[in-house]
Amino acid sequence: MQTLLWFFGACVGALMLSTIVLHVLARLGRLGSAVCDALARGYLLDLAVFYFTHGPWVAAAIVWYRSPQPGAGLWAFLGAAIAAQSLTLVLWSWMHEAMNPGIRKGPRIVSTLNRRVGWFRNHAAVWWTALAVPLFTMIRLGEILLYPPLHWLVRLPKYNVNEWINVSRQKFSGLVGYDLIWCLYCDWMTGVWSLGSEMLRNVESFWCPIKYTSPEKCEKCCIDFPDINGGWVDSKGTIADVASLLEQKYPGPGGENGWFGHPTRVRLTVKRTD
């Protein structure tokens, strides 16, 4: 039990210290701002997110495994890690709000929604969304590990992850404490989801450009997969139609095999007027 309590305290201390370091960096002039900007996008953001969301879980497994007399099971250590993360989030939110009393007392997202749906419902629902963190981590790992070979093998488009995987809402005026941390969470997961959808557009149009038999599904999915109404073969067509479409859209070696509406397929024609 002593090891478990020590681990809990160490997690809270490490996480809080890390947030303080980030706050200090943001106030160190041009160099500090450059470091913070670098940590707010791309693979460095991946590392930062993993540190705060899954780092304590990894530490829990290591401490449990290396402890000569654990006194508690692995699940107890994982529970302590999650409890430490939750406490750190609450403590940081309170501290950040206390440092910004003018904003805290003014109009805010959390206070407005508390009035609209009730304090308990609003907070319970937001905390419930935290359960999706492992899901988005798995999606991000798929983007990092599974998609690149498709670029090498069949020339699906390559993407600049910095344009998708980034956070910027920390620069929005008026977000403090609770509002800020959850808006950053949404900022990150939206980019992860959008990049994954973009990659799936290439996969679907390359291997399976056939409309669904269900008109309702076509209507719902065309938002995320525009090629459904922008080129896919009708469900009443033939496999010869599909082969012909593939010949037309993917003519052979050279270039990238992006989905039909991908920017690499767009060609601008400018007419000169004298």
Inter-CA distances, 14 with 84, 198, 248, Å: 10, 36, 56
By CB atoms closer than 10 A (0-12, 13-18, 19+), residue 81 is: buried
Among 88-92, 97-101, 200-204, 261-265, where is mean pLDDT lowest? Answer: 261-265
- Strand, coil or helix: 249: helix
Q: What is residue 266's predicted lDDT score, i.e. its pLDDT? A: 66
Identify any residues that bridge with 41 across adjacent strands, giving them in sequence order.
Answer: 166
pLDDT digits (tens, 9 = 90+) for 227-260: 999 899 999 999 999 999 999 999 777 778 999 9
Per-residue confidence (pLDDT) for residue 269, from 0 to 100: 39
The predicted structure's pLDDT at residue 253:
76
How far is 178 from 108, CA to CA, in rounded Å? 10
Residue whose C-alpha is closest to residue 192's, from 227, 260, 141, 258: 141
pLDDT tens-digit series, residues 63-76:
988 876 556 788 99
pLDDT tens string 148-181: 999 999 999 999 999 999 999 999 999 999 999 9
In this predicted structure, the answer to whether residue 274 has a pLDDT above a threshold of 80 is no
- The pTM score is 0.89
Provide the mean pLDDT of the chain: 92
- The pLDDT of residue 141 is 97
